[in-house]
């Protein structure tokens, strides 16, 4: 018996030894991989929808379109607005009438020169119902765009071509952030007329020309030597499709991918072993739990505040999320104008939470459901932590796990009490964290998953959109954010900090705060 036991223990040791050797080998392997120069290789987690700007409704498509095409404006990796195909633009004082002047001497990859009529036709193509693109909202502020998109008009009266070199937009109401809308991939400029199967064989003005696309495998791009913004430093760029995060890390260690996001479970290991390879940047993204402001006890702001007090967010951030985030004291990320660095997050205070619950008439708590997406493991862990902590103040949380699509549908219909989710910026502006998330016109599919509705907030958000003066606008945003924060329509969690590894064989790469902020022009193989 004893001998048998000893043998088992030995076996255990052998297994441990083997595992250790594996890990040791992997570290050794990584430094071996580091010496290789891999060429520029990026990755997406799934195949893009298409390479047609009009179809760019998801991140992979948007990122690929950004490599091939230009918009009138663009973002840099830090989310600053830059001139794109338009090198200067003017707005009238009301921010309702814009004129964009085109950069001279720009041609498409097939040699056709860019003219203002291309801009108009590109935008009309996006709005055209026959395109079936699905993302028209960035262009709907243009006067007459809604009628055109609904098939009620044959032209968009708010877009005027001024000769070959300028284009004027008249908006249906003032909108100060409109130039940022035009930097989104969907507003990128395609040549006209576009060829058949344009999404498979795109032609743009961007820094990279299309070479090949093997679906679910890789996309290949070659440098556009005539790029107006300076040709890319490398000859080619490959984008592989790698769905599994751990495989991606293996590819990175083998020197077959140039940059990689670090999966959560691996944070400590990488910080210890390869601190010099790591790059981090606060992302324009919010992790939060929308509390359905129209359901049951959650209708009462005191209950929502109590929930915020009952959750120990710093602890969850530190343990579950590896500390990769900045605590949220509002919905506007701290890197954006309009956020208030002086505002404090809800303090973790269970007695205050109990007091608020008593005041709201729920001294014994109540039962709610918290929805989570089954495929997102980290979010699931956060949900469990929230469940445990709310249980301590008497709120009985049942976690409902569904696949992402089912959960999204339920949340958008308002059929959930609470759901753990995140919000990625489309454009780097506080407006993108207020209008879609809290305006009552954005209920459900528009982004307002908490169904928060407040007439004053609505009018202030619209007022801010109409305010051309940047500092006045930011003052308004601070006020709006503070007002909403007080009403606690969410459990305010954190703004993630992205953690990436850059292969030592390349330089010039930077983590983009927004998905279309990295165009790989300044990256080169050492």
Q: Where does this chain bind another protein (CB under 8 A)?
A: 21-22, 25-26, 28-30, 32-33, 46-47, 49-50, 55, 57-58, 129, 132, 134-137, 140, 146, 149-150, 199-200, 214-218, 240-244, 246-247, 250-251, 253-254, 256, 402-406, 408-410, 412, 423-424, 426, 436, 442, 444-447
CB of 146 to another protein, least distance (A): 7
From 205, 209, 211, 202, select the one nearest 229 (Cα to Cα).
Answer: 205
Closest to another protein by CB, 133 vs 229, is 133
Q: How would you class 175 by CB atoms within 10 Å of its CB: exposed for 0-12, middle for 13-18, buried for 19 or more?
A: buried
CB of 478 to another protein, least distance (A): 23
CA distance 508 to 304: 45
Residue 277 is given by DSSP the state: G
CB of 265 to another protein, least distance (A): 12
Closest to another protein by CB, 347 vs 441, is 441
Closest to another protein by CB, 364 vs 405, is 405
Closest to another protein by CB, 362 vs 433, is 433
CB of 136 to another protein, least distance (A): 6
Q: What is the Cα 499 distance to its own chain's centre?
A: 15
What dihedral do alpha carbons 113, 118, 122, 124 form, nearest 10°?
-170
Closest to another protein by CB, 147 vs 164, is 147
Closest to another protein by CB, 44 vs 498, is 44
**Cross-strand partners of 500:** 261, 279
* Residues sharing a CB contact under 8 Å with residue 469, sequence separation 6 or more, in sequence order: none
193: preceding bond cis by omega (within 30 degrees): yes
CB of 253 to another protein, least distance (A): 5
CB of 62 to another protein, least distance (A): 9
Q: How many CB atoms lie within 10 A of CB 312?
A: 19
* Residues sharing a CB contact under 8 Å with residue 35, sequence separation 6 or more, in sequence order: 255, 505
In Å, the largest CA–CA distance within the chain is: 94
CA distance 115 to 191: 9
CA distance 8 to 21: 20
CB of 157 to another protein, least distance (A): 19
CB of 46 to another protein, least distance (A): 6
Closest to another protein by CB, 323 vs 446, is 446
Helix (H) or strand (E) holding 282: strand 278-282
Closest to another protein by CB, 240 vs 324, is 240
Residue 408 has, within 13 A of its CA and on its CB side, a CA count of 9
């Amino acid at each position: 018996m004893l001998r048998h036991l000893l043998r088992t223990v030995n076996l255990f040791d052998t297994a441990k030894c083997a595992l250790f050797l594996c890990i040791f080998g992997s570290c050794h392997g990584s430094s071996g991989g580091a010496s290789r120069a891999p060429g520029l290789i990026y990755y997406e987690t799934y195949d893009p929808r298409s390479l047609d700007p009009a179809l760019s409704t998801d991140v992979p498509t948007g990122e690929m379109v950004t490599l091939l095409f230009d918009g009138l404006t663009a973002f840099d990796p830090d989310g600053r607005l830059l001139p794109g195909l338009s090198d200067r633009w003017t707005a009238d004082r009301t921010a309702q009438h814009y004129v964009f002047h085109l950069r001279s001497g720009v041609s498409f990859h097939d040699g056709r020169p860019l003219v203002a009529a291309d801009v108009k036709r590109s935008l009309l193509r996006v709005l055209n119902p026959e395109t079936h693109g699905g993302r028209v909202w960035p262009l709907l502020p243009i006067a007459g765009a809604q009628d055109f998109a609904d098939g009620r008009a044959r032209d968009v009266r708010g877009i005027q071509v001024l000769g070959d070199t300028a284009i004027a937009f008249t908006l249906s109401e003032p909108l100060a952030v409109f130039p940022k809308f035009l930097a989104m991939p969907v507003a990128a400029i395609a040549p006209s007329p576009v060829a058949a199967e344009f999404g498979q064989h795109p032609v743009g003005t961007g820094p990279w020309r299309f070479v090949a696309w093997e679906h679910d495998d890789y996309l290949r791009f070659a440098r556009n030597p005539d790029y107006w913004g300076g040709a890319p430093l490398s000859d080619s760029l490959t984008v592989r499709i790698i769905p599994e995060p751990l495989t991606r890390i293996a590819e990175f260690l083998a020197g077959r991918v140039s940059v990689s996001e670090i999966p959560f479970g691996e944070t400590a290991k990488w910080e210890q072993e390869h601190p010099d390879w790591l790059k981090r940047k606060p992302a324009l993204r919010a992790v939060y739990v929308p509390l359905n402001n129209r359901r049951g006890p959650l209708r009462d702001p005191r209950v929502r505040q109590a929930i915020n007090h009952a959750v120990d967010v710093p602890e969850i951030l530190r343990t579950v999320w590896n500390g990769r985030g900045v605590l949220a004291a509002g919905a506007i990320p701290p890197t954006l104008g309009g956020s208030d660095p002086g505002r404090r997050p809800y303090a973790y205070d269970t007695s205050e939470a109990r007091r608020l619950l008593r005041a709201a008439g729920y001294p014994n708590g109540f039962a709610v459901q918290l929805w989570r997406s089954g495929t997102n493991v980290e979010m699931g862990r956060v949900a469990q932590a929230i469940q445990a902590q709310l249980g301590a103040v008497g709120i009985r949380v049942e976690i409902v796990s569904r696949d992402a699509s089912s959960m999204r549908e339920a949340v958008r219909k308002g059929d959930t009490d609470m759901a753990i989710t995140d919000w990625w910026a489309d454009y780097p502006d506080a407006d993108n964290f207020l209008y879609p998330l809290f305006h009552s016109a954005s209920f459900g599919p528009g982004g307002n998953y908490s169904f928060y509705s407040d007439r004053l907030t609505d009018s202030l958000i619209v007022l801010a959109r109409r305010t051309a003066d940047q500092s006045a606008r930011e003052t308004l945003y601070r006020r709006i954010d503070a007002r909403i924060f007080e009403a606690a329509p969410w459990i305010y969690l954190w703004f993630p900090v992205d953690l990436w590894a850059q292969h030592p064989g390349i330089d010039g790469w930077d983590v983009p705060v927004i998905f279309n902020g990295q165009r790989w022009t300044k990256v080169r193989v050492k």
